[in-house]
Structure 1
């Protein structure tokens, strides 16, 4: 019983995880982030090992291979703080038969790419910066 209560207490205190699943509007309310209009993303084709730098404006879908990437929000830390960028991405699979199904939706952070990752067998995507 004590172990179960300890686990519940730990889960209740996991508030830092909230921004990763929160809506794009929530992060724009945080005074520690500055909203930007363009995201710079690094895309990797795992089959060819080719890296491509993508520039995506807010709400303007771009394609990489069979992925359609839409940046809904892109925020950066102010210049006087440690540099970081966070982008709210919606990534859809567009190959035939997929029906445009979503494969990722949420926040990605430049300084912590392992927190929220695109799990795709062929492609990898990472946020580099917001401008």
Structure 2
């Protein structure tokens, strides 16, 4: 129960979005973590019931259906600590001939995808891992 309250208070503190153009503040880690240049994400298309695994380099926007996902920070704990990867994501929806609308702006944690989820009727996106480079996994599943 105490662990759940600690996670919820951390999530509440992380829900505050950074000022426009500012880098997101890192969560106050209980354990040290290392910034990584690539986030491994999974996405679910609820219409086709297909799950896609894709890599998103930090500060580059990638597309998933009508969503545009930008990873601002991806951090991973060293192997000697309990496993955890977290990424700060900005997700907008861009439908043809419509104005882009912001859907999500905040931290997602690989160990707790339901803690701070993207809420969308067609797509789900969650963090799997953070890696040092594209291609080979860095301690996570792919």
Query: Which TM-score band applies after superposition, normalised by the shorter structure?
Result: 0.7 to 0.9
Paired residues for 1:49-64 under 5 Å: 49-64=49-64
Match of 2:26 in 1: 27
The structure with the largest alpha-carbon Rg is 1
Match of 1:121 in 2: 121
**Alignment partner of 2:26: what SS?**
helix
Paired residues for 1:38-53 under 5 Å: 38-53=38-53
| C-alpha spacing 1:103/1:97, structure 2 compared with 1 (3 Å) | farther
| C-alpha spacing 1:36/1:28, structure 2 compared with 1 (3 Å) | farther
Larger CA deviation: 27-36 vs 74-83: 27-36
Contact 1:91–1:103 (CA<8 Å) still a contact in 2? yes
Paired residues for 1:50-129 under 5 Å: 50-129=50-129
The superposition leaves residues 81-107 of structure 1 with CA deviations (integer Å, 9 ceiling, x where unpaired) of 111110000001011254111111100
Paired residues for 1:12-23 under 5 Å: 15-16=9-10, 17-21=12-16, 23=18
Structure 2's unaligned 5+ residue stretches are 1-7, 132-142
Determine the C-alpha separation between the residues in 2 that align with 1:115 and 1:29.
Answer: 17
Contact 1:91–1:105 (CA<8 Å) still a contact in 2? yes
Of Structure 1 and Structure 2, the greater helix share is in 1
Structure 1's unaligned 5+ residue stretches are 1-13
